[in-house]
Structure 1
C-alpha cells in the first residue's frame, strides 16, 4: 500500500492543507471587497461617459453615419448606455442604503 497522505507530499499530517479553498487573511479579503466595490461604482459613470464620447458630433458625425448605414456612432453609444444601465445596480444599492458589495 502506498502512502498518499500529507506525509507523502512532504508536510506533517497535523498541518492543514492550503489550496484554492483556503480563506484569505481578513485584511486581504477586506481590501479585495473594497476594490470590487470601487470597480462596481466606477463602471456606471465610465460607461456613461463613453456613451457621450461615442455620439456622432456635428456634420462630420452625420457623414460617418451616412457612410455606414446610420449606425457608426449611434450603435456604440447605445451599447455604452446599455452597459451603464447594466452596472447601475451598485449605485441603486448605495442609494437604498445598502453596502455596494452585497
Structure 2
C-alpha cells in the first residue's frame, strides 16, 4: 500500500503539468501566444490553476531528487 501511495504522489506533478500544457494548446494559447507581436498573459482559466497545482505537488519530486 505504501508503494502505491508513493507512486501516486509522484504522478501528480507531471499529470498537472501535462494538463496545463494541453489546456494551453487546446484553448489557443499555445503557439499563438508565443508568436504574437504582443504576448499577453492570461491569468484566468484552467491553465494557471494546473500550473499552480503542479507546483504545489512538486515536493515529492524535490525530495526524490535531493536523495531523501
TM-score, with length taken from structure 2: 0.71
Aligned residues: 55
Aligned-residue offset at 1:57: 1.9
Uncovered stretches (5+) of structure 1, i.e. residues with no partner: 1-31, 62-70
Higher RCO structure, 1 or 2 (CA under 8 Å, sep 6+): 2
Three-state SS of the structure 1 residue aligned to 2:67 is coil
Matches within 5 A, 1:1-102: 32-55=1-24, 56-57=27-28, 74-98=44-68
CA RMSD of aligned residues (A): 2.1
Q: Which of the pair is proportionally richer in helix? A: 2
Q: Which has the larger radius of gyration?
A: 1
C-alpha separation in 2, matches of 1:50 and 1:95? 23
| Ranges in structure 2 where 5+ consecutive residues have no aligned partner | 33-41
